[in-house]
Chains A and B, each alone.
Chain A
């Protein structure tokens, strides 16, 4: 007990000292949370960038704090916010935008940018990466660690199946027929795997868009789950397993899919660009990266994390936060970040830097995600996003496992989503 008490006293005293020191030096201190969602020494890369920033800006001190995955980061940020000891900025899931707006937690960038230069900066990113950060006429999130879905394919398997390894399937028919040829009858190799655990709604966003329909409106208060084209997309996904028999029927694990691809158990996989570095490092065969195939059009959702600035901040803190975000998203930093992690370079300027120019030249797959961005749309994000997303996830899984017909599953999900979103109209 005494020990506890002593520690408590020490803790309070230490906190007091910190406050005092802050007041004397008039240094702006920022706390930034960031999640880690792909493998690799990401915390070190972020910490390194922050150290560089502080060298350039000695009047700003940044505490960059690793905050778990996207979910953990949101919980941590909101807990800190309500306690009166909030962070000033954070990287969080791009689809958390409506929740954060509803909680009145974040401030729009349009209300902070002042100079013409800053306004130009806000326009400097790929437009499709901004879709998840913009709603109700304002920009709330700035892209940082962003990804899309691409198709990885095993060129050696293509060759052995008599397919041209430099011509990956361009549309759904080609995908199904190529996969048919690639599937080994003894079950040792499947033609394609599209993961259906973890982030099924994300994969499905790609299929639906390819079939010509997005999943929600840009105000985040209406979903289109029961649209005939959306139903058609789910039917196609299901058919790959049950009709064409080129994909294992039932659920395909997100977390082990890369391993399956690297082991040659599937000739093609749809997965995040965030896997590029890991696949490149570990593949012992010649692999290719392709844009996702088209039905009516090409399509993929974007994914990943955006920068947000919290509302409970002083003007000086907002200014310093802007400085930090501009530093982290500058073309050189973005290029370096993209090369080290596999995330997309977030602006055209990033791809014009020598770093990425060189990288794309020696490793062309790195450019596929960029080229696909023109066909990209927002990731499923609405008010009540967690619950709406769960409805769609469940509908997809029940259709893939054969528990419900696609049309029925999606109609149910749509009806429930409609009830959830009624209050936000």
Chain B
């Protein structure tokens, strides 16, 4: 009796602990964003003082916009991530399919080589990649920013895992219906791996949306530079930053991603669960 009575209350205590922890983490996670909103919409006197009656203002945004061509940078970033994602999907799908479903000489060695890429930080390759791109005349192009990242080892690895777990029976059924290799890939493997594509797409887009050093190094002009480079001029390492303006500029830079995330939140989370990326 006493044991039975204890269990529910212990369970409740556990639940309570879990909820509190979840709230705590959520608050920690949202704090910088909440601060950015606060600082961006208030005059700089209030950027570190919380006062509900503080006047609202948009001057931080106009100041930020006047210091860098954010609209153009936004277009560039958008072009970059779209192009990159499309290329990654095509390349990674084909490579992953080959690694998952074909037997060929040296397959495992080749796959191990692909995985090696995961262990090298891209920053180390900046000089080498720059030289390669200079050799083919792609310095200062949006394609040049994206090219080194197109054959993504992470994407190949993830899709290969997804393809490998797809039941062979489905493939065989499709073959009976008369599908060739591409038919099988297109009608069976890709639709089943959709959550993986979504999850990988999200990781890729947010990574390249935020990438800074490589785009800065490889581009020279307003026509090709992405948002992060525009954002960096507010960094001001020597004098310390103006928090209000940098918050406004940050919000400008992340707003498309933020809105997209809020709209598609449920799908994102579900696909992460499916794809097993945590």
Contacts and interface: CB of A to CB of B under 8 A. Distances in A.
Interface of A: 1, 3-4, 7-8, 11-12, 14-16, 31, 36-44, 63, 65-70, 72, 75-76, 78-80, 82-85, 147, 198, 254-259, 263, 271-272, 274-275, 278, 282, 284, 303-304, 342
Nearest to A67: B216
B57 interface: no
Interface in B147-163: 150
Contacts of A272: 238-239
B80 to A, nearest CB: 12
A42 B233 contact: yes
Nearest to B246: A39
B138 A39 contact: no
B210 interface: no
Contacts of B211: none
A82 B130 CA distance: 9
Contact of B130 (A80, A275, A342): A80
A44 B277 CA distance: 44
A37 B239 contact: yes
B127 A82 contact: yes
B242 interface: yes
B278 to A, nearest CB: 32
Contact of B233 (A16, A36, A63): A36
Interface stretch (B45-53, B170-178, B255-263): B45-53
Given A15-B137, A63-B220, 17 more contacts: A7-B141, A8-B143, A11-B143, A36-B233, A37-B236, A38-B236, A38-B239, A43-B67, A70-B237, A76-B217, A79-B217, A83-B139, A85-B139, A147-B238, A255-B240, A258-B240, A303-B238
B30 to A, nearest CB: 21
B235 interface: yes
A14 to B, nearest CB: 8
Contact of B240 (A31, A67, A78, A275): A275
A85 B134 contact: yes
B268 interface: no
For B90, B217, B240, the residue with the greatest tally of chain A CB atoms inside 10 Å of its CB is B240
13 contacts: A4-B143, A11-B143, A36-B235, A37-B238, A44-B67, A68-B212, A75-B126, A85-B134, A147-B238, A274-B239, A275-B239, A284-B45, A303-B238
B229 interface: yes
A58 to B, nearest CB: 21
A74 to B, nearest CB: 11
A72 B236 contact: no
Interface string B101-135: 00000000000000000000000001100110111
B242 A39 contact: yes
B240 A259 contact: yes
Given A256-B240, A275-B240, A303-B238, A12 B131 contact: no
Nearest to B67: A41
A69 B232 contact: yes
A36 B68 CA distance: 13
Nearest to B225: A66
A84 B245 CA distance: 38
B131 A83 contact: yes
B197 interface: no
Nearest to B141: A11
B59 interface: no
A79 B130 contact: yes
A72 B217 contact: yes
| 7 residue pairs, one from A and one from B, having the closest CB atoms | A15-B137, A37-B238, A83-B134, A39-B236, A83-B131, A38-B239, A79-B130
A340 B58 CA distance: 24
B136 interface: yes
A240 B188 CA distance: 70
Interface in B1-54: 44-45, 47-49
B73 to A, nearest CB: 12
A263 B86 CA distance: 49
A8 B83 CA distance: 13
Contacts of B237: 37, 69-70, 198
Contact of B238 (A72, A76, A80, A304): A304
A44 B242 CA distance: 18
Contacts of B213: 68, 72, 75
Nearest to A254: B240
A14 B138 CA distance: 10
A72 B243 contact: no
B200 interface: no
Nearest to B45: A284
B121 to A, nearest CB: 14
A14 B86 CA distance: 24
A256 B236 CA distance: 12
A63 B221 CA distance: 9
Nearest to A274: B239
Contacts of B137: 11-12, 14-16
Contact of A43 (B141, B233, B242): B233
B189 interface: no
B70 interface: no
Nearest to B232: A68
B273 interface: no
A12 B233 CA distance: 30
A8 B138 CA distance: 7
A237 B213 CA distance: 35
Contacts of A271: 239-240
A38 B238 contact: yes
B126 A278 contact: no
Contacts of A65: 220-221
A315 to B, nearest CB: 23
